[in-house]
Amino acid sequence: MFFEIALIGTTASGKTHIANSLAKRFNIVILSLDSLCVYKEINIASAKPSQEELKNFHYFGIDLISVDEHFNVELFIKEYQKAKEFALANNLPLVITGGTGFYLKTMIDGLSQKIKEIETDLNNDEIYSLMCKIDPSFKVEKNDTYRLKKWLSIYESTKEIPSVFLKKTHKEGILKNIEIYEIVWERNLLRDRIKMRTKKMLEEGLIGEAKELFSKFNHKLKALNSIGLKECKEYLDGKISLDELENLITTHTAQLAKRQRTFNRKFQSITLNFDGAFDILKQKFTH
């Protein structure tokens, strides 16, 4: 029977494990809600499901593009539509799961008209200063290059105040009344899980994956500046030791988890402890 739910949580919270357990038991369709898993060449740094899992389960949203190609929320929505069509055609449940909450929120809240990004010589501080003067209601962090450039592109291209333009061109979201479940951990326990996962990634060949990526692609690409890879670049450049590499990845991942937990509070979700999550979700799939 078709229905759809979202399963969210911070990095290393066990979302993929639970989704795969549900897939093994109930043959569900899984849409990966992860902005790094879309890249074909990034496997270890993205904590991507194994090749066996990808082969045996109905996965969407994984291995879509190369690291030198651009991915955005519009492309993610198209992948969601593919996953939903497959789930409907086969009368299967659809589980949307991953750590990129922004994609999920956009599907719920909707999108505004897309504006092509313009070239600019302005740096982040200059754009931020201009934005605060012209459009103070547009909330963006000073270091959020993507959204700052988006604001400037709208302003330069339309000659309108971006916050007004976005509101005027807004279209409703495509996800209505979806149940959202969030896997939560006590902070210290999650930190321990992150530390163990970092160690596992290094054992599985993270440094080798990074070395190959940096040899083939421009290290300035957004995908190659994700956590795990940017620290490996410092290690490969001789700037940090192996111990420092492991500690930095762990620390930066823990900081990401904190930001994800804060962002996830925007959702009206049902919180689940990891240990009991499968049994609780199992009841939904058996009704």
Q: What is the pLDDT of residues 77-101, one digit of tens each?
A: 999 999 999 999 999 999 999 999 9
| Per-residue pLDDT at 146 | 81
> What is the per-residue pLDDT for 142?
85
84 inside domain: yes
- Residue 66, annotated as binding a ligand: no
Share of the chain above pLDDT 90, in %: 89
Q: Residue 117 domain-assigned?
A: no
| Amino acid identity for residue 249 in this structure | I
Domain assignment of residue 116, yes or no:
no
Global pTM reads 0.86
Clarify whether residues 94 and 59 are in a common domain: yes
**For residue 115, is it within any domain?**
no
9 is in an annotated binding site: yes
| Position 144 confidence tier, pLDDT thresholds 50, 70, 90 | confident
**11 annotated as a binding-site residue:** yes
CATH of residue 100: 3.40.50.300
Q: How many domains does the chain have?
A: 2
For 198-230, how does the pLDDT look when each residue is reduced to its tens digit (9 = 90+)?
Answer: 999 999 999 999 999 999 999 999 999 999 999
User: Do 179 and 193 reside in the same domain of the chain?
Assistant: yes
In a shared domain, residues 182 and 161 = no
Number of Cβ atoms within 10 Å of the Cβ of 266: 13
Same domain, yes or no: 86 and 22? yes
pLDDT of residue 117: 86
What's the confidence (pLDDT) of residue 19? 97
Residue 189 vs residues 186, 253, 254: alpha-carbon distances, Å: 5, 14, 11
Same domain, 217 and 95: yes
β pairing state of 179-184 and 270-273: parallel
Asked if 101 and 148 sit in the same domain, the reply is: no
Q: Check whether residue 151 and residue 205 sit in a common domain.
A: no
pLDDT at 176 over 90: no
Compute, in degrees rounded to 10, the torsion defined by CA atoms 216, 53, 16, 29: 110
Residue 251, annotated as binding a ligand: no
Q: Is 258 left (phi over 0), alpha (psi -120 to 50) or beta?
A: alpha
Residue 118 lies in a domain: no
16 annotated binding-site participant: yes
13 marked as binding residue: yes
Say whether both 180 and 282 belong to one domain: yes
202 and 273 fall within a common domain:
yes
- Asked if residue 286 belongs to a known ligand binding site, the reply is no
Per-residue pLDDT tens over the stretch 239-274 = 999 999 999 999 999 999 999 999 999 999 999 999
* Residue 61 annotated as lining a ligand binding site: no
| Terminal Cα distance for the chain, rounded | 10
Q: Are residues 148 and 259 in the same domain?
A: no
Non-local CB neighbours of 169 within 8 Å, separated by 6+ positions:
112, 113
Domain interval for residue 150: 124-168
What is the token pair recorded at 233? Answer: 């670049």
Residues 255, 261: Cα–Cα separation, whole Å: 10
Percent of the chain with pLDDT over 70: 100
Q: What is the pLDDT of residue 107?
A: 94
Q: Is residue 119 part of a domain?
A: no
